[in-house]
Amino acid sequence: MSGRAFLIEPFPGSDHTSGLEIRCTADRLKSKLSVSWELAGSRASAVIPPPAEVPLRRDGLWQDTCFEIFLAQRGLKNYWEFNVSPSGDWNVYRFDSYREGMREEEAFSTLPIRIGDDGGFHSMSLEIDLEKILPHAAQLEAVLSAVIRSPKGALSYWSLSHTGPRPDFHRRDGFLIRI
């Protein structure tokens, strides 16, 4: 796959997202998956956590502005959730099936994250070594997503597709990207 670009959208009815746009890319070269998110638009519409002095593995990053990718091997129930915060904090979780068996994925002790901020947009990129969790030739399904905190504290949930009655990035019918 050569780099594919996606525009993710807020969950319908999110009225505090005006002036924001999130563009994503995904590019797989053998066992390396490169992913990027670019948050563009009005800085007054999003709260961006400041850079951490020492980025760490942290739980609950989805309770604030963060960017996510969910990955699964096609045909299997288990999947992984990668969370990266603009602070540089991160985490990876493994699930046995839909929202079941959640645990930190021990195959990763760090994630190579790059953060950019030029005042007009905020960008994050991540490179995932797939060999740590999947067979080399595995065909993958994925969803790129984001959670954005507004200055008033409200959270908006962004994805390529919203397939349920409420935001839920774990739904396999939303894993629309084939890698």
Q: What is the pLDDT of residues 144-167, one digit of tens each?
A: 999 999 999 999 999 999 999 999
Confidence of residue 41 (pLDDT cuts 50, 70, 90): confident
Domain positions in the chain = 4-178
Dist CA 132 CA 73 (whole Å): 13
Dist CA 157 CA 169 (whole Å): 9
Dist CA 47 CA 42 (whole Å): 11
Confidence of residue 2 (pLDDT cuts 50, 70, 90): very low
SS3 of residue 75 by DSSP? coil
CA of 126: how far to CAs of 36, 101, 150, 174, in Å?
Answer: 6, 25, 24, 21
Residue whose structure tokens are 């602070």: 87
SS3 of residue 117 by DSSP? strand
Q: Which residue has the higher pLDDT, 168 or 138?
A: 168
Q: Which CATH class is domain 4-178?
A: mainly beta
CA-wise closest residue to 40 among 22, 18, 27: 22
Confidence of residue 18 (pLDDT cuts 50, 70, 90): confident
Residue whose structure tokens are 């746009």: 21
Residue 33: its pLDDT value, please? 96
Would the pLDDT of 1 be above 60?
A: no
